[in-house]
Every structure is written in structure tokens, then in C-alpha cells.
Amino acid sequence: MLFIHILFIYRMYYVVIKSLNRMEVNVKKLLILIFLSNAVLAMQNNYSTSSQWLMDMDVVDDRFRAIQKQFRGFDTAMMEVGYRYEAIKKALFLHNYELASYHLQKVQVAIENGYIRRPARKEASQNYFLNTTFKELQKALETKDDTLVTHSFDNLKNSCNACHINQNVGFIVIE
């Protein structure tokens, strides 16, 4: 696979050099030097262009570290929560309570997956959301009462902001 990568880089430089025939000889030499240094760096860094990047790792512990790095921490869970929060807000605007409920369930999954990766976030997640406003909004959505749903959603938003303050990320404000 590295050979294919090197051929691709070589072909790219070749096209550039051919298209710039009036180029100084020293500039051509510089481009060739850049090409060779990229090839050497690719070999030294064990750079993989393979779609099997994980399985190409020889040591199982390296694979687990790579997976853990890809999942990151609670911040990626919160990215999904933010997306789902906006989807809930839009569904509520359209009075599509089934869709709002669907996204609310996905918020629960995202948060639970997040505190598996960052156990220190579990208590706050449960106290500010899962055991309180999540259940409140879930019940309100079942009633399809606009006033109750709006009130519960506002409580959820306020709870999110309170949790952010509690977790020292109060600069993240949910609107």
C-alpha cells in the first residue's frame, strides 16, 4: 500500500513538473527533494493509506488505544446531544412529538455512552438530566399537551445550563 502511495505522490509531482516546463532546474530539484522526503517520512511514520488502518496495527493494545482515541471523551457525546437537542426543538416547533421523543431517547443513549468513556460525568448526567428533566419531558411528550411540553422543554434547557456550570463549562450556554 505504501508503494501505491509513493507512486501517487510521484505522479503528482511529475504532472506539476511537466506542466511547468519553463521552471528553473533548481526548483525541479527542490520538488524532487520534497517528494523524496515525503516518501521517507511516510515510511518512517508507518503511515497507512489502507482502509484497514486498524487491522494493519500489529499490536492488539495499539488497536485498543487507537479505538479509544477515536471515541474521545464526553465532548463527542455532547456533540451528538447538541445535534439531537436542536432536532427536538425543531420537532416541537412542528408539533411532531413522536420525532421529539425519538431524539430524546437518542440523547439518553449518547449521554450514557459518554459517561462510560468519562465516568466522572455520570453523577451530574444522572442528577441534572437522566433522573429528572429527561423523564419529565418524556412524560410531557406522551401527553401531547403543548403547554406542558413547552414548560418541560424549558426545564430541560435550564437543567443543561446548570449542569454545564456544575461541570465547569458554564461558557457553553444552551438556548
Q: What would the pLDDT profile of 94-139 be if each residue is shown by its tens digit? A: 999 999 999 999 999 999 999 999 999 999 999 999 999 999 999 9
Q: pLDDT at position 58, please? A: 87
Structural contact between residues 114 and 78, judged by C-beta atoms closer than 8 angstroms = yes
Q: How much is the average pLDDT of 78-100? A: 97
Domains of the chain, start order: 2-57 (no CATH), 72-166 (1.20.120)
138-145 long-range Cβ contacts below 8 angstroms, 24+ apart = 138/101, 138/104, 141/97, 141/100, 141/101, 141/104, 142/101, 144/97
Return d(Cα 146, Cα 144) in angstroms, integer: 6
Structural contact between residues 136 and 155, judged by C-beta atoms closer than 8 angstroms = yes
- Tell me 12's DSSP state: H
Q: pLDDT at position 167, please? A: 94
Q: How much is the average pLDDT of 51-55? A: 83
To the question of pTM greater than 0.85 for the whole model, the response is: no
What percentage of residues in the chain have a pLDDT greater than 70? 72
Q: How much is the average pLDDT of 40-61? A: 72
Lookup: cell for 97? 412529538
Lookup: cell for 150? 413547552
Q: pLDDT at position 168, please? A: 95
Q: What angle do CA 73, 76, 78 make, to 5 degrees?
A: 110
Q: pLDDT at position 48, please? A: 58
